[in-house]
Amino acid sequence: MKSSRAKVAKPMNKTKRTRKLSPLIVIPLITITLFVLAATTYKIVEIIITGQKDTFPTLEISLKDVPIEQIDAGTKDIKYPGNTVTITANNKTATYDDVEIKGRGNFTWAQLKKPYQIKFSEKTDLFNKGATKKWVLLADYLDETHLRNDTAFYLADLLNENYNYQGNPVELYIDNNYRGLYYIVKKIGTDKAGVNLKNDDGILVELDNHYGELDGCSYDSKGNCFVEKDIINEDYSISAMEDFISSINSLHEASVKKDFESVKRVIDVDSFAKYYLLNEFTINPDAYSSSFYMYKDGRDSKIYAGPVWDFDIALGNEYWKTDGIDSNDIQSPFKTMVFKDHLDLTTSYVSSISTIIYDLMDIPEFEQRVKEIYQGTLSGKGDEILDYIRSQAEYIKPAVLRDQERWKLKTNFDEEVDYLIDWVAKRYDHFEQTYGANSEKSINQNQAPESPQPSQE
């Protein structure tokens, strides 16, 4: 059944009737008129049409000066201030003025359904996720389940990640135009709701070998591009980045020598082990080339990995394809990402991958710590993970169907969810065998099953 969500009734102008009507007609007309008058309010129309708006969170943006078409057609970096945001959830409504909106993302900004960033005039706590000014509206246009980012953040919570960026699904309206299902989440930053750095030279960086040159790269000894994403005090920007690059180079040197004691002096081992486990579990194609965040809270601090980010094409997403990568291999739940002999550095995509995690996983003590953390966090929680995915799928399904209607998508949501659940179940079994208490071999001694080969017929 088609949803009527995308076709919203407009307020109707009342007209006087001068002709007398019989009582048999008047009573039904009064009933209909009361219905129409109620429906002239946009929110009431939505409740009547869908039965969902009173239960599913919505975020409505009223733009001040420009239509959304102009924002979508421009560069993501243009900022549009002075807008109004209204959020409705759990039968409560809150309105915020003077909100800035802009585009966000790189590859995702080029898609039909756009992601956005909104910035409040003061720190605002949405959905009990912590107070911060900047929030991101992820479109999840490349993820037909709308579950992959949320599932990955749920896994990060199970792993006891230092900073959890799990968000909340909302349906977005811009100037009374339904824009579909979005996932609202805090923007990664250095405030108290994010990476809570204390020192003036505390810095948050991103390893971004795909798009980093757009923002200006600082290169390490292996040619990896690091971009400053946030810093406590801009006066320390240059020196803090120089110190970070120096520490990364020290990490490279210690890792190649398999000198674990020196590695421990440079990085927080547990944060890197958790980063690896999450991105390994989700087989995240972006993990070691882009969206790899790290931070350092001053010159005397170690480097910490995280917060984790960007999982829309992970978890077996069949959308993801690129030259030089066997899609059967990268999407297989039996794949192990850090086998160096799987890397063909002559291909354009794979040559952008940083070997930071690959080198660390060659160190027996680091590998052992990975197993210990897995066994203390994710092990034994397979049913819990699958139940979470099922419950979230049931919760967002009505909104997903409205989103599909809005963007003319033909995907079978139930089939996509079944595929995701099956993939995660198989992946979890593989993890239990590889990292669980009964695993005996070194991870790098295990051999992943060969990828299915295409038929020769």
- Summarised one tens digit per residue, pLDDT across range 204-238 is 999 999 888 877 899 999 999 999 999 999 999 99
Is the pLDDT assigned to residue 322 strictly greater than 70?
no
Is the pLDDT assigned to residue 287 strictly greater than 60?
Answer: yes
- CA–CA dist 225, 207 (Å, integer): 6
User: What's the pTM value of the predicted model, to 2 decimals?
Assistant: 0.82
Residue 109 has a pLDDT of 93
User: What is the reported pLDDT for 190?
Assistant: 81
Ramachandran angles phi, psi of 354, nearest 5°: -80, 140
Residue 442's pLDDT band (cuts 50, 70, 90): low
Q: What pLDDT, on a 0 to 100 scale, did the predictor assign at position 51?
A: 35
Confidence band (pLDDT; 50, 70, 90) for 444? low
pLDDT at residue 345 in the model: 54
Quickly state the pLDDT bin for 156 (edges 50, 70, 90). Answer: very high
Q: For position 163, what pLDDT does the model report?
A: 81
Query: What is the percent of the chain with per-residue pLDDT over 90, rounded to a whole number?
Result: 65
Q: What value does the mean pLDDT of the chain take?
A: 83
Q: Would you place residue 450 in the very low, low, confident or very high pLDDT band (cuts 50, 70, 90)?
A: very low
**38-59: per-residue pLDDT in tens?**
333 333 223 222 334 447 999 9
Phi, psi of 161 (to 5 degrees): -60, 145
| Residue 101, strand partner residues | 80, 118
Question: What is the layout of strands, in order, in the sheet containing 292-297?
Answer: 218-219, 225-231, 202-207, 292-297, 303-305
CB-based contact 312:284 (threshold 8 Å) = no
Q: How far, in Å, CA of 328 to CA of 431, rounded?
A: 19
d(CA 47, CA 42): 9
Per residue in 122-152, pLDDT tens? 999 999 998 999 999 999 999 999 999 999 9
Q: What pLDDT was estimated at residue 307?
A: 93
β-pairing, 58-62 vs 168-174, is: parallel
CB-side exposure of 290: number of CA atoms within 13 Å?
17
**pLDDT band at residue 427 using 50, 70 and 90 as cut-offs:** very high
Mode of pairing for the β-strands spanning 225-231 and 218-219: antiparallel
Q: Give the per-residue pLDDT at 452.
A: 36
- Asked whether 374 and 435 are in contact (CB, 8 A), the reply is yes
Give the gyration radius of the chain's Cα atoms. Answer: 25
pLDDT value, residue 289: 87
Average of pLDDT values for 359-376? 96
Q: How many residues does the chain have?
A: 457
At residue 117 the predicted structure's pLDDT band, cuts being 50, 70 and 90, is very high
